[in-house]
Structure 1
Amino acid sequence: MAIDVEVLRVFTDPEGNHGNPLGVIDAATVDPGDRQRIARELGYSETIFVDVPDTGATTAHIRIHTPATELPFAGHPTVGAAWWLRENGLPVRTLQVPAGIVQVAYEDDLTMVRARSDWAPEFAIHDLESAEELAAADPSDYADDAHHYLWTWTDREAGHIRARMFAAELGVPEDEATGAAAVRITDYLSRDLTIVQGRGSVIHTVWSPDGWVRVAGRVVNDGRRTLD
């Protein structure tokens, strides 16, 4: 049976460029045992399966899969899910993921989620000296048994950084925009950040000393594809 997949790009820049592709599937249309296979075939860094809530509901359940495994939490899938639900007339206040309850908010063209830093996986954080060193980094030079987050300041006073993320063990040699890593680096630096990752994706974060981080970004819809 053909499966409809809506394709979003999450964490675009203000002009709608860049962003991390996300596959969105109505969970009712697939068998749970097929989710990992479908995510692998689609090949996006993450694919989400949404239990579409009833009209007026304030929460929705989602499951998140990379091409290689299921994740208890991830940032760009939760931001994408919250945006997709509002676009379909179903704005929610919370998302239920295996890690816990993600709070949701909307402000103009930004969709925001709030999550705990310890929900995100551990990252090997590499503080590089310059944007040139960051651009020259080769994913093959980093061990494939860890998530590697490379970053450098572009404007320390304003809280602006440039970043890249390699996660071969998740089936993602390089991730274009990583909300979970944004949560970790925000907590690590203990300050609000504007992160430009990959080719030019943009992630905004707000730090709280109690371990919660708000992650915000823009989303665009690239249309629908069908998986046979």
Structure 2
Amino acid sequence: MTIAAGGFGLCGIPETLIGGIVASGVKNLTLISNNAGVDDFGLGLLLRSRQVKKMISSYVGENKEFERQYLSGELEIEFNPQGTLAERMRAGGAGIPGFYTRTGIGTAIAEGKEVRAFEGEDFLLETGLVADLAIVKAWRGDPFGNLVYRKSARNFNPMAATCGRVTIAEVEAFAEAGAIDPDGVHTPGIFVQRLILATQNEKRIEQRTIS
């Protein structure tokens, strides 16, 4: 099963839904996510319980268990430049099977991929991503599934919400019908099939720097 998860680091991650997946015991997951959380929080919990066989990710530098599993050959990784990953998720949600980008030309990212020239410059063909399930975290949600994210917690959540065949959103608070200004909707309810109230809303800081 392929699961797309919103969030960036520990910001805007669907903690409650991740906990539910851990509790389910489902194995051999492919996760699409910017990163894998940390060892004891976020998607790192699924790595710790050995429920993940492959990560499609961009940044994975804060998780020692991720590093250990990758170097030992237990975990398959498909690395993506961060903008490419975001666009692959967005493209999948928009029904776009592929797109060309300059990012990655001349690097290991380009190995095995189609290269095409446009106006004298080379571009890589990248494919859109579609997940069996998408899990996202929002600040507010109404009965129709319209979602509002708060500030930087928006990050990868809107793209993840669109690219799941089924999308489940956990929200910090429910809003009454009509309470969300249509101009303030970040993810329209047409993309959301399930809505739950989050029971975990920890605002953990990944790296605290003080002077």
TM-score calculated relative to the size of structure 1: 0.27
Bigger-Rg structure (1/2): 2
